[in-house]
Chains A and B, each alone.
Chain A
Amino acid sequence: MINSDLQALSTTLEMAALTTIILLIIGTPLAWYLARMTSRYKVIIEAIVALPLVLPPTVLGFYLLIAFSPEYLPGKLWQQVTGQQLAFSFSAIVIGSVLYSLPFVVQPLQKAFEQLGDSLLEAGALLGAGPIDRFFSIVFPLTKASFITAASLGFAHTVGEFGVILMIGGNIPGETRVLSIALFDHVEAFDYARAHLLAISLLIGSMILLAAIYWLNLPKRNANVNANQIRLSK
């Protein structure tokens, strides 16, 4: 692999890692809130979260491009606070990725939280555990597999992103030039050898990651019993 491709790889990994961390931080409370929410407006929030699943990435990218430009409020605010333009920056593609990969993190977590139910949390509260304590001592250990799934899916989906980044990031080496864009460049330049190299690496990498997720989610004997008991105690 040539230096510029390696640089694209490092940009990609950096973007995906940062996106995953941000997604876990904001996705966990959002998933928790949705799992416990009984209001009829819940479906609206769920629909917004799921939107990136069906929307063409270019639609999201287009609106983000407008929002990030210095003429509009988000972009203007960003420029005032950081002194830099938001559009066509590394920060822009991270923000775009966070929105674009949101359902891949929120949905598995929400499902896990819903399945967990209230019964064990009530038991924990009566033993003196406060809400934060209950989250880390009961919820997290019992839904760890879902956290790993959510993080892996979020990461993998971000690595595979193309349309949104093309719209809001452009193609700046070391800043916004990620693997999928580099691949597109090679194809446009008829450099099929380098395109092949990137394509096959992305393919194998994604394959390994997904296989690992499915392996983690294999029904294990213990996990099954746990799930049954959780269901029974609901």
Chain B
Amino acid sequence: MDEFTATASAPLTNSIGLHARPSVKLTKLAKTFASQIEVAPGEDGPWVDAKSIVKVMAVKAAKGTTLYFRAKGPDARAALAALRDLVALNFLADEADLGEEAPGNAHG
């Protein structure tokens, strides 16, 4: 089997980690690439399929975790750059994940 040719990493800086909405975005983006892409909460894994939201959510990566990506395939580099940017950009600055808001703040 081929080796994974490319890797990238980025820390999770949003306030609550790799949550519902960030996971939806991450897997949707991963699915736009042909390459096989995996994500892990550490350099040594455990690696899971970055196109499966069930598996990505199961990583339960908390805030402050550095996410590692690896990919193999025709667009591996582009895929990794895009995924790293998504994480580095705070999932397009989507700080407020669903349910993140503290109770009592709702009516400001």
A interacts with B: no
Interface residues in chain B, defined as those with a beta carbon under 8 Å from any beta carbon in chain A: none
Interface residues in chain A, defined as those with a beta carbon under 8 Å from any beta carbon in chain B: none
